[in-house]
Structure 1
Amino acid sequence: MLKKTVLRNNKEISLIYNKGKSEGSKFVVLFYKKNGLSYNRTCVLASKKVGNSVKRNRARRLIKSAYFNFDGRIKIGFDLIFIARKDIIDVKCKDVEKSLYSLFVRSNLLDKR
C-alpha cells in the first residue's frame, strides 16, 4: 500500500466507525465511507482476539493480499477499514478473496467495468 493511501489518523478511523456503513463476513468486517478524494484509503486491523502477533500479522497479510487482487475494480473515493475476525487464521488466501468479494458486492463498491 502506498503511504498516502493508508489511514493512520485515529480521528478519521473513529469517524468511519461511527458515521460509515459496515458489512461483515465470516473472516472480515468492512467499514466504509466516502472520502471525497480521487483515491481510496485503507486500514487493516487485527485485534488481540485474533491471536498472538504472528497470527495477527498473518491475518493482516491475508487481507492485504486479497485486497490487492481487487484494487483496480473497486470504486474510487472511499475510506475502507478491514477488521480481521478470529476464523481468518485457519484459511487460505482464496477464501479471504471470496469473502472480500462478497463484501464488496453487498456494499456496492465494485466497479461495473
Structure 2
Amino acid sequence: MKKQFRIKKNEEFQAAFKHGNSFANRQLVIYYRKKDDQDHFRIGLSVGKKIGNAVVRNRIKRLLRASFQELEQDIKPCYDIVIIARNPTKTMDYESMKKSLSHLLYKEKLFKHSK
C-alpha cells in the first residue's frame, strides 16, 4: 500500500471516529468516512498495546495492509477507512484476516459491486 493512501495524522483518525460510521465483528472494528475530494480510499490501522508486543502488532498491521492491497480494486474510492484490531487478531493467519476484513467491507457496502 502506497504511503499517500495511509492515514497518519491524529486529527484524521479523530475525524473518522467522530464524524464517520462504524461497524465491528469479533476481530476488527471499522470506522469509515466519505471524503469527496479524494480519488482513492485511504486506510489507517490501529493495534493497541494490549494485543501484544511490537512484533505481534506489526505482524497484524502487515497482514491488514496486504489484505487491503489484494482487495484494492474492489473498494469504493473517496473513503477514509480506519481499522482497529481486537484481541483475536493476534492468532489469525492471512486468509482469515482477509476474510474478516472482507466481511466488514461487504456489510458496510464499501465494495464497488457486491461480491
**TM-score bin, normalised by smaller chain:** over 0.9
**Following TM superposition, by how much is the alpha carbon of 1:101 offset from its aligned partner in structure 2, in angstroms?**
1.1
Letter in structure 1 aligned against 2:88: D
Question: SS of 2:15's equivalent?
Answer: helix
**Following TM superposition, by how much is the alpha carbon of 1:5 offset from its aligned partner in structure 2, in angstroms?**
1.1
What is residue 13 of structure 1 aligned with on the other side? 13
- Gap runs ≥5 in structure 2: none
Task: Provide the rounded CA distance (Å) in 2 between the counterparts of 1:64 and 1:49.
Answer: 20
1:13-32 → structure 2 map (5 Å cutoff): 13-32=13-32
CA RMSD of aligned residues (A): 1.2
What is residue 62 of structure 2 aligned with on the other side? 61
Letter in structure 2 aligned against 1:43: G
**Following TM superposition, by how much is the alpha carbon of 1:13 offset from its aligned partner in structure 2, in angstroms?**
0.9
- Gap runs ≥5 in structure 1: none
**Following TM superposition, by how much is the alpha carbon of 1:3 offset from its aligned partner in structure 2, in angstroms?**
2.1
Question: SS of 1:111's equivalent?
Answer: coil
Question: SS of 2:99's equivalent?
Answer: helix
List per-residue Cα deviations over 1:47-103 (Å, max 9, x = no partner).
101111111111111111111111110001000111111111111111111111110
Question: SS of 1:33's equivalent?
Answer: strand
1:32-111 → structure 2 map (5 Å cutoff): 32-36=32-36, 37-111=38-112
Task: Provide the rounded CA distance (Å) in 2 between the counterparts of 1:92 and 1:108.
Answer: 24
List per-residue Cα deviations over 1:14-54 (Å, max 9, x = no partner).
01001101111121111100011111111111010111111
What is the number of equivalent residue pairs in this alignment? 113
Question: SS of 2:45's equivalent?
Answer: strand
Normalising by structure 2, report the TM-score: 0.93
User: Identity of aligned pairs, percent?
Assistant: 27
Question: SS of 1:101's equivalent?
Answer: helix
